[in-house]
Amino acid sequence: MKIDRDYTLATLARLVQINSINPTLAPGAPGEAEIAAFIAGSLRACGLTAEILEPVPGRTSVLGRLAGTGGGRSLMLNAHCDTVDVPGMAEPFSGAIREGKLYGRGSYDMKGSLAACMAAAKALKDSGAALRGDLLVAAVADEEYGSLGTSDMITNVRVDGAIVTEPTALEVCLAHKGYLWIEVEVTGRAAHGSKFQFGIDANMKMGQFLARLSELERDLRARPAHPLVGPPSLHAAMLNGGSGLSTYAASCTLQIERRTVPGETGEQATAEIQAIVDALAAVDPDFHATVRTFFVRDPFEVPADARVVQAVDRAIAKVRGVAPAHIGDTPWMDAALLQAAGVETVVCGAGGAGAHADVEWVDVESVVQLAEILAEAALDYCG
C-alpha cells in the first residue's frame, strides 16, 4: 500500500502548528474547533465524507468515512486532537523537523498518529481498493480531560472494531490500567484550641486512616502483577483539613487516586477503602468518616486472538518484516470506552517521546510506517 509521504508530513506539521490545547485543562485555550475544521477539510479533499460532531460548543470532533461496498466489518481509526498545555516549551507549535524528529506539543501525543490515520484513509482511497466494511477516521476532542469526543461518538456510531492510535512505538498494546478517584472525609468536632476536653481533632483521626492506607498501598503492590500492566497502586493525592490554628479541626478531607488493573472492579477498590474506615470506627467511637467514589475509569484488556489484534499483527509483520511485541501500558486511554461499548479495540501508534513534557517529538518514519500499517490492517479487517 503506497503512502503519500508528502501529504503525511505536511498534514502532521499543520496539525502541530494549530493550537488545540484542551480548554478544561487550560482556561481560555482554543479547544478543537480550528483543528477539526482543518481535519474535516483535509479528509474531504482526500475523497472521504466528514461529519463534524460538537456535543459541547467548541469541543469538536470529526468523523471521516470511507464507505465500504457492504457486508464487511467496519473499523474506526481513533486519535484525539486535543493536547495538554505548553508552559515551559521552547517551540510548542513549530512542527520543525530535525534529524528525523518532528517537534511540538502533541506531535507524539498524538498528532503523529492522527496524521497517519488520515494518510492511511487517503492511501486506501487513492488505491481504489474496494473495502467491504466502512473505514472511519475519528479525530476526537477532550481525551486529555473527560473524553467528551469518544464518549459522544460511541453513542452515535456503530462500528465493529477500533484501533486507538495512542503512541506505542509501533508495538501492539493489549491492556491498560483504569483508575478511581475516592474522597474520604473524616469528621471531628470544632472547639477552642485550649478546650481539649471538647474538641475531636479530625486531622489526627485522618492520620490513623493514612497509616492504614499506607499498609494497603504496600499490599496492593505486593499482589500478583498483571502480566502486561503490573500491580495495582494508590496514592494520597490531596489532603485538606482544619480551619484555623486555635480551632480543633472539624473536618479533614483526603482525595485518593487508585489505579486498577484488568480484572479488578471499582466496587472492590472502593470496598477496600471502606473496610479501613469500618475497622477504625469499630475500635474508636470518636472515629467518623465517609467514603465517596466520585469518578471511575475502567481498565482495558483485549484478547490476543481478537480479529482486530490479528489484523494489526499481520499488518505490522508485512510492513516491518517483524512480528510486533504485545505490550501493556499504564495510562488510561479511550480504548476502555470503546471496548466497554462492545467494539473490539487494540492500541497501536507512532514512536517518539515527551508526552506532556517540555520537549516533545515524534519519529517521522514511524508516522509514515504507521500509516501503511493502518491501511493494511483496514484491508485485512474490513475485507
The smaller minimum CB distance to Zn ion, of residues 110 and 250, is found at: 110
Q: Tell which positions 196-225 bind Zn ion, by CB under 5 A.
A: none
Query: Which segments within the chain are labelled E, that is strand?
Result: 49-56, 59-66, 75-80, 97-98, 101-103, 135-140, 161-164, 172-176, 178-187, 233-241, 251-260, 288-297, 300-301, 326-329, 344-347, 352-353, 361-363
**Minimum CB–partner distance for residue 211 and Zn ion (Å):** 36
Of 9, 35, 36, 110, the residue at the interface with Zn ion (CB under 5 A) is 110
User: DSSP state, 164?
Assistant: E
In 225-364, beta strands by DSSP E = 233-241, 251-260, 288-297, 300-301, 326-329, 344-347, 352-353, 361-363
Site stretch for Zn ion (CB under 5 A), options 164-172, 190-198, 221-229, 317-325: 164-172
Stretch that binds Zn ion, among 24-32, 161-169, 170-178, 249-257 (CB under 5 A): 161-169
| 215/358 with CB nearer Zn ion | 358
* 118 lies in the site for Zn ion, by CB under 5 A: no
Nearer CB in complex with Zn ion: 15/123: 15
Least separation in angstroms between CB 355 and Zn ion: 7
- Give the residue with the Cβ less far from Zn ion, 109 or 298: 109
Rg value, the chain, Cα: 24
Q: Is 128 exposed, middle or buried (0-12, 13-18, 19+ CB in 10 A)?
A: exposed
Instruction: Give dist(CA 383, CA 70) in Å, integer.
Output: 10
C-beta of 74 vs 168, nearer to Zn ion = 168
Q: Which is nearer to Zn ion, 46 or 117 (CB)?
A: 117
Q: Determine, following the binding rule CB under 5 A, whether residue 32 of this chain makes contact with Zn ion.
A: no
Q: How far is CA 282 from CA 61, 101, 292, in A?
A: 51, 59, 19
Least distance in angstroms from the C-beta of 357 to Zn ion = 13
Nearer to Zn ion, 43 or 140 (CB): 140
| CB of residue 166 to Zn ion, shortest distance in Å | 5
Q: Which residues contact 244 (CB under 8 A, 6 or more apart)?
A: none
Least gap, CB of 106 to Zn ion (angstroms): 9
Query: If binding is defined by CB under 5 A, does position 109 make contact with Zn ion?
Result: yes
Question: Shortest Cβ distance from residue 9 to Zn ion (Å)?
Answer: 21
Provide the 3-class DSSP secondary structure of residue 322: coil
Residue numbers of the site for Zn ion (CB under 5 A)?
Answer: 109-110, 166
